[in-house]
Amino acid sequence: MNKTKIIATIGPATYKKEVLMELINSGVDVVRLNMSYSDYHFCREVIGNIQEINREIQANTAIMLDLEGPCIRVGEFQGGHGEFQTGEKIRIYMKPIICNSYQFSVNYPKLIDDLKFRSVIKLMDGKVVLEVVEKGMDYVVCEVLKGGIVDSLSKVYLPGVKLNRKFLTKQDREDILFANKMDVDFIGVSNVSDAEDILEINDLLIELKNDHIGLIAKIQNDRAVKNLDRIIDVADGILLARSDLAVEIPLEEVPNVKNQIIRKCNDMGKVSIITAELDSFLTKEVIPSRSEVSDLANAVSDSVDAILLTGETTVGVHPVAAVKELERIVKVAEHTIDYEYFFDRALKIKSQSIAGTIATSVALGAIELNCKAIIVATNTGYTARQTSKLRPPCMIIAAAPNERVARGLSLYFGVLPISIGELDFDTISSKAISVAKESLNLEKGDKVIVTGGYPFKKVKHTNFMKIDEI
């Protein structure tokens, strides 16, 4: 059982119940629905299938709904695409037109106000590059710096351009209301630029009286990188969309941003997620390249919380094989994690509280006594999250009072969430230890640490720890 979590994006290749069951049994902890490509009918079907699977196999697979965000897209081309030639000039219109190889439209009418002379526009993940050379009444003229084929409805990238528009779109607001109704566990917030973008959605969740959904900010542009600390401070986690960011900033800077995100999220007790990018599994190949394996192994060694599969499990030829391969990479790479290093770093910034001190003692005890598991009785998930932040070398069995709290812990490094029910503390501990014995193959003489608040549900913070021997 691995500590690093796996998120699988669901699409045409994986939405059926039998395939979802295979994904979960192969190691998927969270399923992701991308609202850029999914409708509500599709989402309801997937969510219903996951709920059935969770009941059937007593799992706590969580659901993440990913907003499209304030995304700018090109219009529809005749024949599905257009081809721009290097050196030619083309027009971009602010109103719908018939798109061809000399002109296209965008879905953001005020883009003309935000663009400046010499502003760069990138299309098709940076394969096509334009530069603004002139402005008209309702169009801009661009020179094609780098030509190529552009598909209908493809995304428009604007490096260094600040958009003067509201962050929360009408569609995103409707999708958040849908997420609230369907009781999803996480929302992925796309195209974030600053902390205010996250706070705007948080305010809506407060209006809905929803304190369960975690907000995962997606880092996709240079403004988000500049405001990274502020964004981490208000979000529940960070998802680095590496392919998107590589279009906005120099490619060689992306690994450094990845390292910053993992380190800063760990320091602040927030979830860090990176995209897997196992491109081999998008084709008939089922063997990843050495560079793909090394890339992911390094992220695991740096103690990333979770790895996200996107195209590999939406349209990939071998989605289940991709999950199994990622699981194998993670399993081996976790042996290289320097747990004492992460613990020492966490000590320098630990919270000055009873819960923080107890969590520190628990992690230290797990290291010194070579404990095989930490049993956390957690009413809200807070104690389990605090313990995960310290990166103990053994699994954390988080015994939660219900499935909702358990699902909310599914993204946290090293946490195996289980739903126990509204029981007394001794019964919770006993049941959790039984789960640990079965899940971790504990043997006689193995030590486990039990921690939580006692009496359970009658205190607001963690106040004790004890060491048991199997």
Q: Which of 48-52, 59-63, 362-366 has the lowest mean pLDDT?
A: 362-366
pLDDT band at 251 (very low <50, low <70, confident <90, very high): very high
Rounded Cα distance, 48 and 308, in Å: 22
Q: Considering only CA atoms, which of 109, 79, 68 is closest in space to residue 241?
A: 68
Q: State the pLDDT at residue 213.
A: 98
| The two three-digit tokens of residue 85, written as one number | 């030639």
- pLDDT tens per residue across span 85-112: 999 999 999 999 999 999 999 999 999 9
- pLDDT tens per residue across span 10-54: 999 999 999 999 999 999 999 999 999 999 999 999 999 999 999
Q: What is the pTM of this model?
A: 0.93
Rounded Cα distance, 12 and 355, in Å: 45
Give yes or no for residue 464 having a pLDDT over 90.
Answer: no
AA letter at 131: E
Segment 354-361 mean pLDDT: 82
Cβ atoms within 10 Å of 130's Cβ, excluding its own: 24
- pLDDT tens per residue across span 325-353: 999 999 999 999 999 999 888 887 766 67
- pLDDT tens per residue across span 178-235: 999 999 999 999 999 999 999 999 999 999 999 999 999 999 999 999 999 999 999 9
AA letter at 95: K
How far is CA 113 from each of CA 52, 56, 135, rounded to the nearest angstrom? 49, 54, 10
Q: State the pLDDT at residue 460.
A: 66
- pLDDT tens per residue across span 69-88: 999 999 999 999 999 999 99
Strands, E assignment, 43-110: 62-66, 81-84, 89-93, 103-105
Segment 421-442 mean pLDDT: 80
Task: Give me the domains of the chain, ranges plus CATH numbers.
Answer: 5-69+168-334 (3.20.20.60), 78-157 (2.40.33.10), 339-469 (3.40.1380.20)
Bigger pLDDT: 5 or 343?
5
SS3 151: strand
Bigger pLDDT: 450 or 284?
450
Contact residues for 2 (Cβ-Cβ < 8 A; gap 6+): 27, 327, 330, 331, 334
How far is CA 319 from each of CA 240, 289, 309, 362, 411, rounded to the nearest angstrom? 21, 17, 9, 38, 20
Rounded Cα distance, 393 and 386, in Å: 14
- pLDDT tens per residue across span 125-166: 999 999 999 999 999 999 999 999 999 999 999 998 888 888
Q: State the pLDDT at residue 351.
A: 65
Give yes or no for residue 6 having a pLDDT over 90.
Answer: yes
Contact residues for 190 (Cβ-Cβ < 8 A; gap 6+): 36, 66, 67, 68, 69, 71, 218, 220
